[in-house]
Structure 1
Amino acid sequence: MELFKKICAAAVEAGASDIHIKVDAPVILRINRQLLPIECPLPTEEWIDDVLKHIVPVHARARFEEDREIDFSYHLPGVGRFRTNVYQQRGTFAIAMRYVKTKVPSFPELGLPEVIKRIAEAPRGIVLVAGTTGCGKSTTLAAMIEHINENFKKHIVTLEDPIEYVFEDNQSVIEQREIGLDTKAFATGLKHMLRQDPDIIMVGEMRDATSFTAAMSAADTGHLVLSTLHTTNAAQSVGRVLDFFKPEERDTIRRQLASTLKAVICQRMVNTVDGKMTPAVEILINTPTVKKLIEEDRLETLPAAIETGTEDGMQNFNQHLLQLVQAGRVTEKEALSKASNPQALEMNFRGIFLSTGHRILG
């Protein structure tokens, strides 16, 4: 265990976001998105098995034995907290760990648009933070909760698998529930959550129709529901939610979603000129226009609504990437690699803007 603790400490000191450990291979750190090996003895199968005996939580061991893979949060005193996934490959266990910073970053530190503060302050509705794995969804959610915690007297209940950021009560009262430790499953936790008198509910991830049905019910009764979703852009997120449901249910769900959705925030991580990273953010806000498009099943026109909705706080990826380039924070090459429409963005760099949004919306 001493070597394992030294690996974790070295990773944090080096500014790594992730640690990858497998049998008979170098230990790998991910630093600024680059995978880098470190000098240490190659992990053996026996060594990894011994580590797992110490770090897999007691409550999760039976599930781990059955499933052969598991997610949990591991805290190393004096070093930090890690979101940990253990899985098998080639018949032996491997470990992937993501370092979770103790302090919740602020909006300016994360480079998030100010409009997200306003979204976090909404009295009710569903707010989805979307994006691919590793794009900072959990950190953005944590920043929204901490903003509420610092400024409003609310009762916040979270449902996470596993718990990542640990919050301390400030203006708000916060309870964090972990799947497997504090409640059996997301469906069970969501079922009982409304009886716990929450003002705000945070669900670590929307995974199925049951989760989203419960979220819509909570939003319908005046709660703010925050959650994440795996999609590549904000407009696609609406269709992704509908995909949770059977075809014959989707018309009803779409109308419910049009009434309860507050906003979708979608992120892509971008390398900055100073060697760090910042999120490029696409924002969809459920304005009357957006609500009508969802109700009428005109989801293909949502990108146009985002493009033309800047006065309401909306923006697409190209618009935000252009701002980052103009501010000198991101190179044109990097922006083009993360753009939804690189050709249009390249024209924007030259001062040419061919917006079709107004024409599409009609």
Structure 2
Amino acid sequence: MPGRTPATPLSRPVPAPSRTSEKLPFRHSLATDNDRGIPVHSDTLIAAPIDHDISIPEGEGLKAWESWLDTCIKFEASDLIVKTGQSPRLRVRGSLKGMQIEPCTMDLLFRVAKDVLDPNQFEYFRQRGSIDFAYDFDERRRFRVNMFMARGKPAIAARLITSDIMKFEDLYLPEILGDVSMAAQGLILFSGVTGSGKSTSIASMLQYVNERKRVHIVTIEDPIEYIFNDDKATINQREIGIDCLNFNDALRALVRENPDVVLVGEMRDYETFEAAIRAAETGHLVFGTIHASSAWQTFGRIYDLFPENEREQLRKLLAYNLRAIIYQKLLPTLHKNIGRIPALEILLNTPAVQKYILEAREGELLQIINQSHDEGMVDFTTSLVRLVEEEYIHQDVALGATPKPEELKMRLKGIS
């Protein structure tokens, strides 16, 4: 595509797999049209089921698959992208880099699918053209994987998930989020695009609670992304497709599980958000994520999930039960030992914010954020200015990340 920067080749070839080709156990959740990363409506069959004779011997696909994953880990990549006719690519510090190996053939990728999936899963993939699952690479690392068909050929997108839960200071998150995570009840939302580090930040906040409070934490995930070990808290993690059939069933069961703190993952539909806000209203601390382009614009995304006749009641529920909205975007840094760093926008539900929500003045909340830095709030532009001034990111990176480049230029020149 014109204007795209080509992938940068890695400096060394793929190492041979260091482990045997014995198939590791893995857990998966089958794709539906509500699952993340699904490029087709996978609740219906594709026009023509996939039919391909595989000539590569059994087991060779698994060897290739695990060598790609091993390379992903060695280069500290966040993602692996595999496409027919190209060498596998890794996303390192936000940029795609190509492996110095032969391009993947259609035959090889179908062999990978046959070796990694069991017969029922492969048939699901064959009939629908897409499947989501989690693959356990070892005890500490797993991958969230989507296999899908693109222009009649197989492709794979995999994201590395580690059980190493980073602390606030390691993620360069402000201390105010520690205070937010210790709230007795309410709704805490992280907004941003896919790959912005929302799940990592929430895991850090849950671990903060785990180390400090004797509470019962229940997570509902698709798939489980971080493995928690009980400290002061008792933690039960439920995975869609393994521990429960779907989000709605898991949410309905929450009351019987007697949690104090709940993670409901991505709030992509009416049912999930309605259950989450009701849980917050009844005394639970609820964490979730949503796709939005700023903290204050998250309200519009939430209201769009609800029918018009329910929005006034929703507005009241948010006004009294919202604790915070944190928007974040990961940016490449100037430091070799820091991969990417979050630029943040933080909205805390103060009395002034509550008043604006009740008066349907959410579009004016950015003014409140700008006036409330001493209370722990921060607007996105100020966050970028701090990162540039503290020499974490280059000015050009900041300008490319902001929706208000002219305002940022003036702020960087000292003009407020």
TM-score, normalized by length of structure 1?
Answer: 0.93
Secondary structure at the aligned position of 1:204 is classed as strand
Deviates more, 1:175-184 or 1:49-58: 49-58
Contact 2:191 2:293 in 1 (8 A): yes
Deviations 1:307-358 (A, max 9, x none): 11112211011111111122121222222222242222211222221xxxxx
**Cα gap change, 1:119 to 1:55, in 2 (>3 Å):** farther
Secondary structure at the aligned position of 1:15 is classed as coil
Please state how far the C-alpha of 1:236 moved relative to its aligned partner: 0.8
CA separation in 1, counterparts of 2:232 and 2:119?
33
- 1:20 equivalenced with 2:81 (yes/no): yes
Deviations 1:160-179 (A, max 9, x none): 11111111111111111111
**1:49: which partner in 2?**
110
Deviates more, 1:328-337 or 1:52-61: 52-61
Please state how far the C-alpha of 1:63 moved relative to its aligned partner: 5.3
**2:40: which partner in 1?**
none
- 1:314 equivalenced with 2:314 (yes/no): no
Q: Which runs of 5+ in 2 are unaligned?
A: 1-61
Mapping of 1:121-136 within 5 angstroms? 121-136=182-197
Contact 2:163 2:228 in 1 (8 A): no
CA separation in 1, counterparts of 2:122 and 2:285?
34
Please state how far the C-alpha of 1:258 moved relative to its aligned partner: 1.1
Deviations 1:199-251 (A, max 9, x none): 00101100111111111111111100000001110001111111101112111
Q: CA RMSD in A?
A: 1.7
**Cα gap change, 1:117 to 1:283, in 2 (>3 Å):** same
**2:136: which partner in 1?**
75
CA separation in 2, counterparts of 1:142 and 1:33?
21
Secondary structure at the aligned position of 1:215 is classed as helix
CA separation in 1, counterparts of 2:286 and 2:63?
42
Please state how far the C-alpha of 1:5 moved relative to its aligned partner: 1.0
**Correspondence for 2:398 among 323, 327, 335:** 335
In percent, how many aligned pairs have the same letter?
A: 37
CA separation in 2, counterparts of 1:3 and 1:86?
15
CA separation in 2, counterparts of 1:162 and 1:239?
27
**Correspondence for 1:157 among 218, 224, 230:** 218
Q: Which runs of 5+ in 1 are unaligned?
A: 354-362
**1:356: which partner in 2?**
none
- 1:302 equivalenced with 2:398 (yes/no): no
Contact 1:57 1:72 in 2 (8 A): no
Higher share of residues assigned helix: 1
Mapping of 1:107-122 within 5 angstroms? 107-122=168-183
Contact 1:318 1:340 in 2 (8 A): no
CA separation in 2, counterparts of 1:144 and 1:55?
34
Secondary structure at the aligned position of 1:47 is classed as helix
**1:231: which partner in 2?**
292
CA separation in 2, counterparts of 1:331 and 1:76?
35
TM-score, normalized by length of structure 2?
Answer: 0.81
**Cα gap change, 1:64 to 1:260, in 2 (>3 Å):** farther
**Correspondence for 1:197 among 220, 237, 258:** 258
CA separation in 2, counterparts of 1:76 and 1:154?
31
Please state how far the C-alpha of 1:126 moved relative to its aligned partner: 0.4
Deviations 1:121-169 (A, max 9, x none): 1110000011011110110111111111112111111111111111111
Please state how far the C-alpha of 1:60 moved relative to its aligned partner: 5.7
Contact 2:388 2:395 in 1 (8 A): yes
Please state how far the C-alpha of 1:43 moved relative to its aligned partner: 2.2
Query: In the comparison of the two structures, how many residue pairs are matched?
Result: 353
Residue type at the aligned position of 1:197:
N
